[in-house]
Amino acid sequence: MQIVSYNVNGIRAAISKGLLNWMEQRKADVYCFQETKAEQSQVDTKPFELLGYNHYWFSAHKKGYSGVAIFSKLKPDLVEYGFGNENFDNEGRIIRADFGNVSVISVYIPSGSSGDERQSYKMVWLDHFHQYINKLKLQKQQLIICGDYNICHQAIDIHDPISNKNSSGFLPEERDWLSSFLDSGFIDSFRRFNPGPHQYSWWTFRQNSRERNKGWRIDYCMVHENLGEKLIASGIHADIVHSDHCPVWVEIS
């Protein structure tokens, strides 16, 4: 199973930049999309279906904002939309698809970069998310949680850790949360195979950051340790440019 996670920064914009052609070439089994910024009814889904994909969308109540989706060759046994908590689900940030014993989640963790209020919301959201995953693990131990986590874990994951030490996405409390999440039984699949520096998944549009590779690694394919022996490979498609993010991927036997 090959799973690709991609914050498309607006799926309609990404389609106009060649997303479908790339998907046809890439031929992943599952795509986890984030920041779709659209409802299913606003997108012509027939081309995706012609490529053989079943598709499931969970959109925000606010138009043109947030949203996640899962596209898969294999039809899931079950799809769960959101947490089941309206206080968190109105922003459309989590969707889960079950394939036999394996559960794949597409998640779009909030950003706190717009100010203190959203940063506080982000920390509350992270606590709720971790509680949700801990409960889910009692039922579904073979979890693959892909998405935009909006957190760089270590200094190696950000181009300038010193100047960004007080920036949302690299705050000590966020990094501590991600450490505790990994310690609860998850593997950062990319780092299992790629220990080197200067490998990122998001670049600001400003100051030619992408051309200069001044980026952040904030997109992850987290795999439950029960699947550790089945990990084959994981990587980043840094050359794919439909978005300010690029796709990340994991392959499991």
Q: 69 near 37, Cβ under 8 Å?
A: no
Q: How far apart are CA 212 and CA 217, in angstroms?
A: 15
Give the active site residue among 44, 148, 160, 183.
Answer: 148
Q: How far apart are CA 2 and CA 28, in angstroms?
A: 5
Q: How far apart are CA 225 and CA 209, in angstroms?
A: 34
Q: Is 157 a catalytic residue?
A: no
| Dihedral sign (CA 93, 50, 202, 17) | negative
Q: 143 near 224, Cβ under 8 Å?
A: yes
Q: Report the catalytic residues.
A: 148
